[in-house]
Structure 1
Amino acid sequence: MTPFTVAVEGLAADVHLPDGDGPFPAVLIRTPYDRRRHRAELCGWARRGFAALAQDVRGRHASPGEWHPYENESADGAATARWIRRQPWSDGRLVAVGASYAAHCALALALDAPAEDRPDAVIAAVPALGTVDTAREPSGVERLLARAGWWAAHGDRPDSDESALDKALAADPGLLTHLPLTGLPERLGRSLPSWPDVWRHHERGRLAAKAQHAGMPLLAVGGHHDHFTEDTVALWRGWGGTSARLLLGPWGHGLVGEPGPDAEPAHRVGLGELYVRWARRALAGDLGPGRRGAVGLGGSPLWVRADTEGELGTQRVRLLHGSSFTADPERPMSSEDLAVPTDGTPDRCLLVTPPLPRPLDVVGPVEVRLRATAHTPSADWAVRLVAVTPTGVAERLAVGVVRREEPSGEFTVGLGRLARRLLAGTRLRLEIAGHHFPAHARNPHTGDDPVTATRLLPSRREVDAGSVALRLPVLRSRPTPTDPAEEILR
């Protein structure tokens, strides 16, 4: 292998070429997280016959210019793709690969660049589709903790400090409680001029909407414990290329390097080797048409086909307390603590199911329907589903948050997707609250924007407990197991 560093259209890139004369198909990774972190990955691609490149995006690490997240990746990616295809070691075929922001770079090249510059195949893992898509839930509610952490670590700087927010929180545990939230840079002690722009827009889905016009194969990879699970699945479902494959395991944002508590040994997939095998078949035109894939069933050793989905059924819930409660943004329900207060004024409506009489396999989107009232101009409704095992251990299953301006009525809160086996004897705890902080910004209940608000009001709430319906997608028969590699490579 012959590694070297080169400036491609002025941007720093490491290149690893396979042994031999070539020409070779190429793999391109464009990243803000330091191209040097991908050297082992580039070596792995090169050993398997691919010319492999990792490039620092504009304004990051060794690449000059100004760093504007999500703004320049289509044009810079297109220029890099043209450069690759002009090289004597390139056979013209190109696979765009990336995870998180690097997946955005791959998708921007595939969906936004001129047709002649687009890659021949795309591998997008835990894709961060755009500023709004990462900063807001589909309901519009702000994802505070994750975005504060990312912008503190990477925003408006050429390098990164992964622990920037953790260090700031250690010095000031109430850092994220200070208002307005636009003042966060001053509290971090550094300039962060792009921070207010993170929240300026509300429309999600700009890049995903272009997926229906895609012309190349896609491999979308995600985790059930990742912020971007819904975006990963939507990308796969909406992809218009000849072939789309989905791999979704019981993992967090770090995929197999961040297994969830429900991950089993059977979910330890060798992603690198699978990517190579898929890329070879994609470039050779050997993948079957349509959408296929595999989903890991957490709490079991099984993988099931990606089109497996349970039948929505209502689970009976019993009110424990809090049909009337106060959502006080000065004392919000914690997103990090699963303990439930048992004294004082209730801060949430708490309901529970009877112990499950037998194991349940839950695969698909979960939702809660309810009828409720809030006595403030604006209100968020946060719903958290927790499994309490027969031994008494509480484990978060799913969370959903919606924002409503209407004071009362019937509505549905989507809690995202589950793929999980629940053991017999498990109780499901349902918490309905007004906040889920600091994962999500606090609604101030004044009608003001939560990002710029400076005043907070308590919000009195009433929940019609008899109306609450927990809707789970339950498989009515034992699922048929599948091999994830076979499904991906079909």
Structure 2
Amino acid sequence: MKPIDKRVIMLPCSIRIREHFFVRRLLTNFITVSILCVNVVSFAQDVAYPVPEHFKVAMRDGVMLGTNVYLPEGEGPWPVILTRTPYNMKRSDRRAQRYFDDGFAFVTQDCRGKFTSEGVYEPYQTDIVDGYDVIEWIAEQSWCNGKVGMSGRSALGINTNLAAAADPPHLVCGYVVTAPESLFDESYFMGGIFREHFRGNFMRITGAEDQIPILKSRVVLDEKWKRTDLIHHRHKINIPIYNFGGWYDMFARGAINNFVALQYHGREGARGNQKLWMGPWAHSKLDGDLEYPDAIGLNRGFDEEMRWFRYWLKGEQNGIMDEPAMTYHHLGAARKGKVSDRNRFFKTDVWPPVSRDTRYYLRADKTMSIVRPTELESATSYVFDPADPIPTVGGANYNNLPDRFPIRVGPVDQREISDRQDYLRFETQVLDEEVTIQGRIEFELWASTDAVDTDFMIKLVDVYPDGYEAIMIDSPIRTRYRDGRKPGDIRMMTPGKPELMVIDLWSMSMTFEKGHRIAIHISSSSFPRFEVNPNTGEAPGESTMGARKAVNSVFHDAGHSSALILPVTDLEF
């Protein structure tokens, strides 16, 4: 190894081993001879994990970040794969071994202010520049051949995207699993509503509960949010990135939108060099009631990652760039034991495919029809009581919190809340032929309230012939943010006045099969997924007036035609 760079300090306790880089775990418990014999056999089969060298790497402002370097046996230099984590880099030994098997060195770093790193932890605020600095430090080391790839899932994927946005000269490619395009509008808020279960509980278990009111008050887009949101920096990315996501993941929108923006509209090094894989899973695994085939494909992510890095970092001609840019699981009926053949993987170079925007209008008799209302129909109203919110029943929720914060994830039967009077349900007639949709889904909601501010939750539901109701996707909106999230966009409701709100229901590739019904469910709460609106119009995080009930109304007449907009396609099976 060349002399230590002046920007790095190698800790005295670092273990610097080349010939004996792999070590076996020691048996420390007293056990009987018979048990010992069994354990020795098992022990001999264990993987021996590599031992890293530990460094302190200086960022441009002098803050030292803890960094572990894993070098494979043999003579370098090697291409290097980097991850940056807020979750403790010491958990990376197994991952290092997997990269070793393919001839890569591996570097992992604790984010600023976490574990072995100095500084103050402010999630993602400095990860663009910190990512740049460590990548260029790696490239200067004698054990690096000048080619660096970056990888990560969730928070680590966010860090990968942000580092790519810094455009470091030696970052060749990235591999990102389940990461958003906007922390502001996917991770912390949705439709202007705080993500209570995910973000609130995440802060509680990390000792930052006192910061929740402050965070809730930052619901308007400002310059600090823009520093962390890829959507404001994506145009700077100039490398190939492979996005790996799931239709039921809470960051599904980000995976698709990041791919589309870079693949078709990116800089020269990014445009035409992106990949996307979308499966039937949530944030880390298959969840919910349905039994999608080949859901084990989530494990395929590592195989694809290594193919990706071997191609871009080692020049291996493995055919990955000869394949279509996007692989996706098309969703069909998937009740356990009754899985439809409409469930299958497809490959394409074009997303979204050509489609016909088809409107399904809500009607006063709680039906949905492609025929637009031509008469005056009375609005459908309900009373929303913040003291009795509707429970969250499935959807694109986070599934990795401790058991004391339970929430169901993915496609779950909605019938358990079907008898509530504050929960509206509109359905098509039984379909006499299947309806296939691919692309972005929207809902045009005409609604009013007797309050100055309230919430609306929209669910897209697939109703099976036996009455089972699978939630496919849901999305909320806080009425004061119906025109946007910038300071000048905020507009309170005029009590009783109908307003048009367009709700983004993200994207999907699925078939509503013959004999099924398409449904829209509308309410004003989903707890604990989202914080509950007190209906008072007070600033988020500053409620002092308590809460009040609101009478909320959904319109479906000739002049106020609420409608689901589906991107209908003619997919050939």
TM-score, reference length from structure 2: 0.70
Q: Which amino acid aligns with 2:565?
A: R
CA drift of 1:129 comes to: 5.2
Q: Which amino acid aligns with 2:122?
A: H
Query: Is the contact between residue 455 and residue 533 of structure 2 (CA under 8 Å) also seen in structure 1?
Result: yes
CA drift of 1:259 comes to: 8.3
Query: Is the contact between residue 223 and residue 249 of structure 1 (CA under 8 Å) also seen in structure 2?
Result: yes
Distance, in Å, in 2 between the alignment partners of 1:213 and 1:119 is 13
Instruction: State the aligned residue count.
Output: 441
Note closer, same or farther for the CA distance 1:293–1:140 as it changes in structure 2 (3 Å cut): same
Equivalent residues in 2 for 1:235-314, closer than 5 Å: 235-239=258-262, 240=266, 241-242=270-271, 243-254=273-284, 256=285, 261=290, 263-265=292-294, 268-269=297-298, 270-283=300-313, 284=315, 292-299=325-332, 300-305=343-348, 307-309=351-353, 310-314=355-359
Equivalent residues in 2 for 1:58-97, closer than 5 Å: 58-97=112-151
Query: Is the contact between residue 386 and residue 533 of structure 2 (CA under 8 Å) also seen in structure 1?
Result: yes
Q: Which amino acid aligns with 2:512?
A: L
CA drift of 1:396 comes to: 1.0
2:340 is matched with which residue? none
Q: Which amino acid aligns with 1:427?
A: R
Q: Does 1:349 align with 2:424?
A: yes
CA drift of 1:282 comes to: 2.6
1:485 is matched with which residue? none
CA drift of 1:275 comes to: 0.7
Q: Which amino acid aligns with 1:303?
A: F
1:430 partner SS: strand
2:10 is matched with which residue? none
Distance, in Å, in 2 between the alignment partners of 1:267 and 1:386 is 24
Q: Does 1:442 align with 2:532?
A: yes
Greater strand content: 1
Distance, in Å, in 2 between the alignment partners of 1:258 and 1:409 is 36
2:401 is matched with which residue? none
Note closer, same or farther for the CA distance 1:59–1:266 as it changes in structure 2 (3 Å cut): closer
1:209 is matched with which residue? 232
Q: CA RMSD of the aligned region, Å?
A: 2.9
Unmatched 5+ stretches in structure 2: 1-20, 22-49, 58-63, 333-342, 368-378, 395-413, 480-491
Q: Which whole-Å deviations, capped at 9, do the CAs of 1:54-103 have from their partners, x for residues lacking one? A: 22222223334432211232333233223311222100100111111111
Query: Is the contact between residue 327 and residue 348 of structure 1 (CA under 8 Å) also seen in structure 2?
Result: no
Q: Which amino acid aligns with 1:92?
A: G
Q: Which amino acid aligns with 1:228?
A: F
CA drift of 1:223 comes to: 1.2
Distance, in Å, in 2 between the alignment partners of 1:392 and 1:355 is 11
Query: Is the contact between residue 151 and residue 195 of structure 1 (CA under 8 Å) also seen in structure 2?
Result: no
Distance, in Å, in 2 between the alignment partners of 1:368 and 1:133 is 18
CA drift of 1:395 comes to: 1.4
Q: Which amino acid aligns with 2:331?
A: G
Q: Pick which of 300-309 and 89-98 moved more.
A: 300-309
TM-score, reference length from structure 1: 0.81
Note closer, same or farther for the CA distance 1:364–1:273 as it changes in structure 2 (3 Å cut): same
Bigger-Rg structure (1/2): 2
Query: Is the contact between residue 8 and residue 80 of structure 1 (CA under 8 Å) also seen in structure 2?
Result: no
Q: Which amino acid aligns with 2:92?
A: H
Q: Pick which of 7-16 and 95-104 moved more.
A: 7-16
Q: Does 1:152 align with 2:204?
A: yes
Distance, in Å, in 1 between the alignment partners of 2:137 and 2:419 is 66
Query: Is the contact between residue 217 and residue 540 of structure 2 (CA under 8 Å) also seen in structure 1?
Result: no
Note closer, same or farther for the CA distance 1:103–1:59 as it changes in structure 2 (3 Å cut): same
Note closer, same or farther for the CA distance 1:410–1:259 as it changes in structure 2 (3 Å cut): closer
2:93 partner SS: helix
Identify the match of residue 433 of structure 1 among 492, 504, 523: 523
Distance, in Å, in 1 between the alignment partners of 2:501 and 2:137 is 52
Query: Is the contact between residue 252 and residue 260 of structure 1 (CA under 8 Å) also seen in structure 2?
Result: no
- Percentage of identical aligned residues: 22
Distance, in Å, in 1 between the alignment partners of 2:323 and 2:191 is 30
Distance, in Å, in 1 between the alignment partners of 2:76 and 2:289 is 41
1:475 is matched with which residue? 569
CA drift of 1:320 comes to: 3.9
Identify the match of residue 501 of structure 2 among 400, 405, 411: 411
Query: Is the contact between residue 443 and residue 562 of structure 2 (CA under 8 Å) also seen in structure 1?
Result: yes
Q: Does 1:358 align with 2:433?
A: yes
Q: Which amino acid aligns with 1:359?
A: E
Q: Does 1:16 align with 2:52?
A: no
Distance, in Å, in 2 between the alignment partners of 1:394 and 1:151 is 33
Distance, in Å, in 1 between the alignment partners of 2:182 and 2:446 is 34
1:122 partner SS: strand
Query: Is the contact between residue 359 and residue 424 of structure 1 (CA under 8 Å) also seen in structure 2?
Result: yes
Note closer, same or farther for the CA distance 1:370–1:355 as it changes in structure 2 (3 Å cut): same
Distance, in Å, in 1 between the alignment partners of 2:112 and 2:554 is 50
Note closer, same or farther for the CA distance 1:425–1:222 as it changes in structure 2 (3 Å cut): same
CA drift of 1:468 comes to: 3.0
CA drift of 1:383 comes to: 1.0
Query: Is the contact between residue 441 and residue 451 of structure 1 (CA under 8 Å) also seen in structure 2?
Result: no
1:106 is matched with which residue? 160
Q: Pick which of 196-205 and 68-77 moved more.
A: 196-205
Identify the match of residue 395 of structure 1 among 450, 455, 470: 470
Note closer, same or farther for the CA distance 1:260–1:308 as it changes in structure 2 (3 Å cut): farther
Unmatched 5+ stretches in structure 1: 157-184, 186-191, 480-490
Q: Pick which of 143-152 and 237-246 moved more.
A: 237-246
